[in-house]
Structure 1
C-alpha cells in the first residue's frame, strides 16, 4: 500500500540544524524511493527554497522564531498543523513534541498521528524549572493526542512504558559508513597529524563538557584536546574562559563539513561523548561509523548503544584516568570493530527506513481496521 505521509516538527530538509532534521532527510527520501508520497514541512526562511527535494514535496510555513524567539516555534508548528489538516494525509509523523503537542486538539482528525517522542527533554539542565515543568506537560499531551509512538532509544521505550503504560516502537537513528576514499584519506592524515583527544557537542551543561575538560586539565597528558562546537552561548563562553590557561585545550568552533568532522573522529586517540540526556545520539553513531575509539558518559542511553565496546566515565577523576591510561592495542581495536559492526547491522540507514515504513504501514492498517470495527 502506498500512503500520503507528512513529516512535521523539524525546521526542514535538507538538514542545516540537528538530529530530527537529519533523520527526516533519510526517512523522507527513503519512503519516496519505496513508492510513498511524502511531504516535509520547512520553515519559510530555510536555506533550501525549492518545492521538492529528492522526490520529497516541501511545504514552507511561516516561522517567526527569528523575530520573537522561542515562542515562534509554537506559531510555526501551529501553521504546519493547520496546513496538514487541509491536506488530509494518511499519516502524520511528528518529530518531537516540544512546541507541537499544545496544539494536539488540532491534529488532523483523518490522519493517523505517530509521534517520535524524542529524549526526556524536561531533564535538560539548560531549562529553568518552569520550562522543565512545561516540557513534562507537553510530553503528557503528546501521549494523549498521538495514536502511535516511536522511541529512538530502548531507555526511552522503557520510560514511556513505565510512565504512561504505552508500547512505543523502538527505531533508532542511523549513520553512514566511511566511504573508501574517506578511509584512505584518513590513513594519510593519521601519518601527518599528532594524536589528540576529541569532543564534539553543543555547549550545554548536560553534555558533561566541563567534567571532561576538568579531567583532562588535571592530567599529565602531552596530547592536545580538540573541542568542536559553537562556543558563542553563555555556557560556551564560560567553558572557554575557564580553560583558557591550558594550551593543550583547543576550541575549534562549530564545523559543518561532515567529511572533516569524521576524519577528526577517525584520527583521534580517544573520542569523548558526554551526552547524558536524550535518546540515541546521532553524533555518537557517527563517531562509531567513523571508527573512533569512544569514552562515553555512563548512562542508560549511551550504554544501550555501546554496550561493552567503550570506556565509561562518571566524573572528572575517571576522565583523568582514561586520558592517562588508554592505549591503542588489540582490545581497543576490537571495540572499534564491534561498534562498526553495530552500524552495519543495527544502525544502518536502509534498515531504519525499512523499520519506519513497516511501522507506518502497520499503524495505518490497525487504525483503519479499528475504524471499520467501531463503525461497521
Structure 2
C-alpha cells in the first residue's frame, strides 16, 4: 500500500493547515503499514534529492523562484517526477489541478482534496481569481475522486460532477486538555482575561471589523491578534493597526504549537472572522482546545461550530456582544462545554484519518 502526497510545501508542518493535516495523516498511515512518499518544496537550485522523516520518504525539489510562481513550478515538477511511482496519489488542493491532466494521461489514480473556494477571496486580483476558478474545474475533471472538507463544498462540487465521485471528510485537530500558563506572561496577559484571533490578516477574515468593534471603548480584557502584519506595504494591515486601542495586542505570527495551544486553551473566546471556505483548520483546532467561539455568521462556520459559537454579521452586533454576553462567565462556560462535545463527536484526528485511509484503500 503506497500513497504519494502532492500539493503541500512539505513535512514536518511549517506553513499551514494542509501541512499539519499531511503530517498527521503520514504518521497515521505509517503506523498502518503504508508506504508514504511526500513531495517537499525547497528554496534554491540543484538536484532533486531524497530524505526520510519518521518513516516517510521525502522527495525534495529545489525551486529558485519565490512566491506563487515558485509554487506553480514546484507543483509541475512534482507531478512529472511522481509518474515514476505506483500507488494512489493524494493531491492536497486544486490550485494547480491543470497539471493533474498528466496523471490522467498516465492512468494514475489521483484523489484530490478540493479545499475551499479560493477564487472568492478578496485578496486576489482578477487574473489570480480566473486561475483558481479554472483550476477548480480542472480538479473536478482530472481527479479520480474528490474530497470535500465541508458539506457545502460537497454540494458545490456535485453541480459539476457525479456525487458518487465525492466524499465529504472534514479537517481534524488534537484534543487539548491543558496548557502551560507561564507562556501567557511573555504576552502580558492572564488566563480568561483575553480573547484571541488567529488567521491571515485579510479582508475576508473580518480583521478590521473585529478590531474596530473591540476598540470602540476601553475593555477590561485584552484582544490578542496573531498574524503577520506589514503595514508599510499593505494598506489593509495599516487600517487594522490604526483602528486598534491599547487593549489590542499584536504579537506577530506564531508557529510554535505549544505557544499557540496555550493561547487558545486559556482564552476567554476564540474569534473566527472567516467569511469564505470550508472546514477551517483554525476553527477546528480552537474547538479541540475547548474554546468558546465567536464566529462570522455563514453556512461554513455554522456547520462546524454549531451551538458552541455566538455568530456575528457585522461590526455593530459584534460591538454589542462585547458589551453583553461576552462578560458573562456562565455563557462562556456553556459555549466551552459545547465546543468540546462538538469536537469529540466529529473532528478528532483518529476519526478523520481513519476515513481517509478507508477511502485510499478503495484505490490502492
TM over 0.5: yes
Contact residue 148 and residue 363 of structure 1 kept, 8 A? no
C-alpha deviation, 1:236, in angstroms? 5.5
2:93 to 87, 91, 96: 96
Structure 1 gap ranges (5+): 365-376
C-alpha deviation, 1:288, in angstroms? 1.0
What SS does structure 2 have at the residue aligned with 1:65?
A: coil
Residue in 1 aligned with 2:135?
Answer: 138
The aligned length equals 354
Q: CA RMSD in A?
A: 2.4
2:28 to 21, 27, 30: 30
Contact residue 231 and residue 240 of structure 1 kept, 8 A? no
Residue in 2 aligned with 1:312?
Answer: 311
Contact residue 207 and residue 273 of structure 2 kept, 8 A? yes
Q: Please give the alpha-carbon distance, in whole angstroms, between the structure 1 residues aligned to 2:37 and 2:135.
A: 25
Residue in 2 aligned with 1:295?
Answer: 294
The change in CA–CA distance for 1:187 and 1:211 in structure 2 (over 3 A counts) is: closer
What SS does structure 2 have at the residue aligned with 1:86?
A: coil
Residue in 2 aligned with 1:344?
Answer: 344
2:147 to 129, 150, 158: 150
Residue in 2 aligned with 1:373?
Answer: none
1:179-328 equivalences in 2 (<5 Å): 179-180=177-178, 182=179, 192-193=190-191, 195-232=193-230, 234-235=234-235, 237-243=237-243, 246-326=245-325, 327-328=327-328
TM-score scaled to structure 2, two decimals? 0.90
Query: Which segment is superposed worse, 6-15 or 124-133?
Result: 124-133
Residue in 2 aligned with 1:370?
Answer: none
What SS does structure 2 have at the residue aligned with 1:307?
A: helix
Q: Please give the alpha-carbon distance, in whole angstroms, between the structure 2 residues aligned to 1:104 and 1:178.
A: 37
C-alpha deviation, 1:60, in angstroms? 0.6
The change in CA–CA distance for 1:259 and 1:349 in structure 2 (over 3 A counts) is: same
TM-score scaled to structure 1, two decimals? 0.87
Contact residue 50 and residue 57 of structure 2 kept, 8 A? no
Residue in 2 aligned with 1:159?
Answer: 156
Structure 2 gap ranges (5+): none
C-alpha deviation, 1:45, in angstroms? 3.5
